[in-house]
C-alpha cells in the first residue's frame, strides 16, 4: 500500500469540496497505526466520506453508501448507481451474518444470449455488441443499498449523499488510475458522454489532478437523497436509464417497468473452514465465493503447512486447485433462481479433500474436469465465458464490532459507455452470461428473462474461533478476483502477513482457461520456469487487481488498499 499520511489527506481535501459537516481526524491505515474503526475504498475521498459517517454515529452500511456515491463520481469507470452490487454484513449485536445480491439482471424480454436477437438469429459479437444498449442489465445498486439501509442504517438516507453532492459541485482532481483508463486506445475519447468532462478540445485526456465538476451527477444525487430511490426511479430515473440504453448500435430490450420491478435478493452466505478460521463469502450467482473456498481448502489439504508463493512447488499446487475450482464453477454455478447449484457439496471440506487428492504434485493437469457433487445437474454443459469487470471494493469495520464488505461494478471500464443525463454510467453486465448455447445444450449461466449472470465478485468476512470478524475485504479486477482474494487470504491467515504486505505481493491467476498467468513486473515472474517445467502454459501479463482488506489486531484494525490503484485505508482514532 502507498502510505497516505494526514498531511497528504489534508492537501487533497483542500483541493476539492468537502462534506458540509467537518470531516473527522483520520489516521493512515498502515501497519503501524491500528484504529478502533477503519474503512478502505478505491479512492481517498470515498474513504473519507465513509469515516465521516462513522464519526457521526453511522453504521458501516451508512458509511458504505456514502462511499459508493463518491466512487460513482471519482471513478465512474468502475462502479455506480447504474451497476450492480454484492453486500456481506456482520451485525455484532444480533451476532448475525447476512449477504445481499444486487447484481444487474436480464430484462423480462431477454433472449437466450447476448448475441441472440429477438428473431432467434445470431448478432455479430465483439466490442460493438458488448458496449451497446443490448448489454445493459437492469441496475441493482440503488435497490440493494436502500434495502440494506432500511434494516441496518442509522443515519437519515439523505445525509449519506452530502459528500458526493459537494464533490460533484465543487470538483475533484482526476485520479491517476482514471486518467490511465481514459488514455487507453479503447478508452472513452470517442464517446460524447465523456468528452466535456475528461478531455480537452483536441480529444486528449485532461492531466492528472485537473479539477473536474459534474453538476449533472450532483443533481441526480440530490434527487435520490430527497426522494428516495423508489420515487426517483418511478419519476425521472427509470425513464433516463432506459432512454440512454436505447442509444447506440443495438437498442436495449429493457423497459422502464423492468427497472421498477427489480428487487434485491437476500442470500445465505456460504462458509467453510480454512486452518483455524471460518471464511464466509457470497453464494451463487457469485461463483467467486465457491471458488475461493475450494481453493483455500484444497491447498490446505496438500500444502503440509507450507504456503510459500515464492516456491514453484506450492504455486503449482495453488494453480492446480484453482483450475479444478474453475472447472466446477463453469459446470455448476448459475443464478439459483433458475438452476440447482450444489452449494453445500461444492463448499464441503470432504469434497475439497477428494478434489485435492486428485492433484498431481509433479505435473499440471492439461484438462481439468468438474467433479461430481451430490445435487449437481449432470446434464449441464460447461460455460466457456469469462467475466471481465473493472469493479470496486469497499471494506468497513466500526468500533462496535460490526463489519461490512461490498464489491460493486458496472463491468467493463465505463460499462456500456452509455450515460443518462444524470451524469452516471450504465453497466454492460449481460456480457457475463454464457455464449449462445448449442441446440440441446443447457448451461447454468445462459441468459434468461430476469436472470442474474454469474460473477467473480466475492466480498468476504473471516471469523476466528470465537466467532469474531478478523479479516474483512475483497477485490476488483474481473475473472482473477478469485485468485486475488484467495492468495491474499492465504498470506494473511496462513503466513501472518499484514494487509499491506499481502496486497503488494505479485499475483498468480488461473482465470483464463488453460493458462497460468503471472503478474508482470513483480517477483511472481520468477516462477515461470518452475511452472513451465511442471507442464503449465505460463503467461506473464499485467494483473490489475483492486484489493481492499482490513485485519483485526489486539490494538485495533489495520488495513490497506491495492497499491495498483488510487485507494487508501484510513481509520478513526480512539475517542
What does the domain layout of the chain look like in residue ranges? Answer: 54-262+400-432, 267-388+453-554
Asked whether the beta carbons of 278 and 462 are under 8 A apart, the reply is yes
Asked if residue 572 has pLDDT above 80, the reply is: yes
pTM value is 0.93
Is the Cα dihedral 208, 212, 218, 219 positive or negative? Answer: negative
**Per-residue DSSP letter, 443:** B
Class of domain 267-388+453-554 (CATH, top level): mainly alpha
Q: Is 431 annotated in the active site? A: no
Please state, in angstroms and rounded to a whole number, the distance separating the CA atoms of residues 145 and 100.
Answer: 9
Question: Helix 60-74 to helix 141-152 angle, to the nearest 10 degrees?
Answer: 160
CB 255 within 8 A of CB 107: yes
Segment among 27-36, 204-213, 225-234, 555-564 with least mean pLDDT: 27-36
Task: Report percent pLDDT > 70 for the chain.
Answer: 90
Q: Whole-angstrom Cα distance, residue 45 to residue 33?
A: 20
The model's pLDDT over 82-107, given as tens digits with 9 standing for 90+, comes to 999 999 999 999 999 999 999 999 99
Q: What are phi and psi of 183, to 5 degrees?
A: -80, -10
Contacts of 393 (CB under 8 A, 6+ apart): 40, 41, 42, 405, 406, 407, 408, 459, 473, 474, 475, 476, 546, 547, 548, 567
For the ranges 22-26, 135-139, 174-178, the lowest mean pLDDT is seen at: 22-26
| CB 60 within 8 Å of CB 89 | yes
Q: Which of 41, 111, 299, 391 is catalytic?
A: 391
- pLDDT surpasses 50 at 22: no
Confidence of residue 479 (pLDDT cuts 50, 70, 90): very high
Amino acid at each position: 500500500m502507498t502510505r497516505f499520511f494526514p498531511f497528504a489527506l489534508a492537501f487533497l481535501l483542500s483541493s476539492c469540496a468537502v462534506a458540509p459537516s467537518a470531516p473527522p481526524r483520520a489516521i493512515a491505515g498502515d501497519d503501524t497505526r491500528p484504529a478502533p474503526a477503519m474503512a478502505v475504498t478505491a479512492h481517498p475521498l470515498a474513504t473519507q466520506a465513509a469515516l465521516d459517517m462513522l464519526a457521526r454515529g453511522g453504521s458501516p452500511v451508512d458509511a458504505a453508501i456514502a462511499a459508493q456515491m463518491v466512487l460513482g463520481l471519482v471513478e465512474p469507470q468502475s462502479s455506480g448507481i447504474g451497476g450492480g452490487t454484492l453486500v456481506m454484513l456482520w451485525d455484532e449485536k444480533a451476532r448475525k451474518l447476512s449477504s445481499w445480491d444486487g447484481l444487474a439482471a436480464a430484462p423480462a424480454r431477454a433472449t437466450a444470449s447476448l448475441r441472440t436477437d429477438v428473431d432467434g438469429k445470431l448478432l455479430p459479437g465483439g466490442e460493438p455488441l458488448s458496449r451497446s444498449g443490448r448489454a445493459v442489465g437492469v441496475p441493482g445498486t440503488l435497490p440493494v443499498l436502500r434495502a440494506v439501509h432500511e434494516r441496518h442504517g442509522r443515519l437519515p438516507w439523505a445525509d449519506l449523499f452530502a459528500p458526493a453532492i459537494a464533490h460533484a459541485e465543487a470538483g475533484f482532481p482526476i485520479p491517476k488510475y482514471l486518467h490511465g483508463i481514459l488514455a487507453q486506445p479503447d478508452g472513452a475519447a470517442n464517446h460524447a458522454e465523456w468528452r466535456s468532462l475528461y478531455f480537452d478540445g483536441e480529444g486528449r485526456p485532461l492531466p492528472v489532478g485537473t479539477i473536474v465538476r459534474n453538476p449533472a451527477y450532483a443533481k441526480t444525487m440530490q434527487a435520490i437523497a430527497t426522494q428516495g430511490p423508489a420515487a426517483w426511479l418511478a419519476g425521472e430515473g427509470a425513464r433516463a436509464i432506459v432512454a440512454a440504453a436505447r442509444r447506440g448500435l443495438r437498442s436495449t430490450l429493457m423497459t422502464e417497468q423492468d427497472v421498477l420491478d427489480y428487487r434485491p435478493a437476500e442470500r445465505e452466505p456460504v462458509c467453510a473452514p480454512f486452518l483455524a478460521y471460518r471464511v464466509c463469502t457470497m453464494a451463487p450467482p457469485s461463483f467467486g465465493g465457491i471458488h475461493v473456498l475450494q481453493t483455500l481448502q484444497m491447498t490446505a489439504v496438500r500444502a503440509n503447512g507450507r504456503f510459500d508463493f515464492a516456491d514453484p512447488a506450492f504455486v503449482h499446487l495453488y494453480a492446480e486447485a484453482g483450475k479444478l475450482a474453475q472447472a466446477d464453477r463453469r459446470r455448476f454455478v448459475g443464478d439459483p433462481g433458475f438452476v440447482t447449484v450444489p452449494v453445500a457439496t461444492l463448499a464441503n471440506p470432504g469434497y475439497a479433500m477428494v478434489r485435492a487428492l486428485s492433484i498431481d504434485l509433479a505435473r499440471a493437469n492439461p484438462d481439468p474436469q468438474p467433479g461430481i457433487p451430490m445435487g449437481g445437474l449432470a446434464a449441464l454443459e460447461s460455460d466457456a465465458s469469462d467475466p471481465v469487470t473493472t469493479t470496486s471494493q469497499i471494506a468497513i469495520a466500526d468500533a462496535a464490532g460490526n463489519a461490512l464488505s461490498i464489491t460493486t461494478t458496472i463491468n467493463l471500464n465505463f460499462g456500456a459507455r452509455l450515460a443518462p443525463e444524470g451524469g452516471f454510467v450504465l453497466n454492460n453486465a449481460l456480457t457475463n452470461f454464457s455464449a449462445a448455447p448449442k441446440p440441446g445444450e443447457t448451461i447454468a449461466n445462459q441468459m434468461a428473462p430476469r436472470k442474474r449472470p454469474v460473477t467473480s465478485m466475492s466480498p468476504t468476512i473471516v471469523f476466528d474461533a470465537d466467532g469474531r470478524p478478523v479479516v474483512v475485504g475483497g477485490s476488483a479486477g474481473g475473472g482473477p478476483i478469485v485468485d486475488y482474494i484467495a492468495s491474499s487470504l492465504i498470506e494473511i491467515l496462513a503466513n501472518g502477513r499484514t494487509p499491506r504486505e499481502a496486497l503488494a505481493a505479485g499475483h498468480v491467476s488461473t482465470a483464463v482457461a488453460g493458462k497460468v498467468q503471472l503478474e508482470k513486473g513483480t517477483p511472481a515472474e520468477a516462477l515461470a520456469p518452475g511452472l513451465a517445467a511442471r507442464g503449465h502454459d505460463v503467461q506473464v501479463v499485467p494483473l490489475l487487481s483492486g484489493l481492499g482488506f482490513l485485519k483485526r489486531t489486539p490494538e485495533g484494525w489495520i488495513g490497506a488498499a491495492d497499491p495498483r490503484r488510487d485507494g487508501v485505508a484510513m481509520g478513526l482514532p480512539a475517542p
